[in-house]
Amino acid sequence: MDSGSHSSYLPLFLCDTLARTLRPKINKLLPDFLTHFPSFEGNAHMIEKQPLENIAWGLCEQHLNLDATVKSVEWAQPGKGAAMERFEEFTTSSTQGLKNFDTLRNDPNYSKVCSNLSPWVNYGHVSFQRLALEVRALKKFPNGTASYIEEGIVRRELSDNFVYYSQGTYDDLSTAAVWAQDSLNLHAVDEREYIYSKLEFEEAATHDNLWNAAQVQLNTEGKMHGFVSVLLSSSFTLLLLHMREMDD
């Protein structure tokens, strides 16, 4: 049994929403909060065992309204065991992985430099706290380890704090930096050479080879390279602004 995924590692009231000020706070407090999990002692302390109710899994599936045409991915199998196998490969590879994570993690040409553990972390099969403790215990590739902690803890804490301190508006452009709002508004009415439907985006039928490649990866592997997703989300934001202007 392993502890699953959770959001923050540090109390939110100790942090803020700016990376440059949040990072030193986290690095200072990590020794106090990034600790090993206590041993699981079982459920013998429970006086009465509550009977499990029959769960109507069929109704649950109907409620989810799943698209049956989307096939299961083969590269990521569920469970902590599969997660730790990938983690072992990531941390021990002599070609792509933790060794050069700090220098090549943003290059989509290297498919195994990133840990690719997000499916297991996001769905609670393994906690990033577990991975952080394991990678620090290795005591090798210090630059890669520092970058991995930055991506998995600092950036996660930053997003959690941003949402917490922007409740109700975190998904609105009004919470973006002023320079970002100004830039987006400045170009919102620019004439677009290409306008695509949702289906064309989904089917990777655009003029942009990078978008098409990333969408194909998403369709076939269930995930997209992290740095590419950042670039594409910026482009998509501009497109949505343009569509909003057209609606107005």
Do 163 and 192 lie in a common domain? no
Does 70 reside within a domain?
no
**Average pLDDT value for residue range 4-19:** 66
With cut-offs at 50, 70 and 90, classify the pLDDT of residue 5.
Answer: very low
Domain end position, chosen among 125, 150, 169: 169
Asked if pLDDT for residue 7 goes beyond 80, the answer is: no
H-type helices in 34-174, by residue range? 57-64, 80-92, 101-104, 118-122, 128-138, 142-149, 155-165
Number of domains the chain is built from: 2
Domain end position, chosen among 118, 153, 169: 169
Domain end position, chosen among 169, 184, 206: 169
Share of the chain above pLDDT 90, in %: 38
Question: What is the model's pLDDT at position 4?
Answer: 44
Write the CATH number for 124.
1.25.40.80
Task: Classify residue 54 by burial, with Cβ atoms within 10 Å: 0-12, 13-18, 19+.
Answer: exposed
Does 219 reside within a domain?
yes
Asked if pLDDT for residue 47 goes beyond 80, the answer is: no
Write the CATH number for 197.
1.10.579.10
With cut-offs at 50, 70 and 90, classify the pLDDT of residue 1.
Answer: very low
Do 96 and 202 lie in a common domain? no
With cut-offs at 50, 70 and 90, classify the pLDDT of residue 8.
Answer: low
- What is the Cα–Cα distance from 185 to 177, expressed in whole angstroms? 12
Asked if pLDDT for residue 157 goes beyond 60, the answer is: yes
- What is the Cα–Cα distance from 22 to 181, expressed in whole angstroms? 23
Which of 110, 140, 145, 137 lies closest to 225 in space, CA to CA? 110
Least confident span in 94-108, 136-150, 181-195: 181-195
Question: What is the model's pLDDT at position 248?
Answer: 53
Range of the structural domain that residue 141 is part of: 1-38+75-169
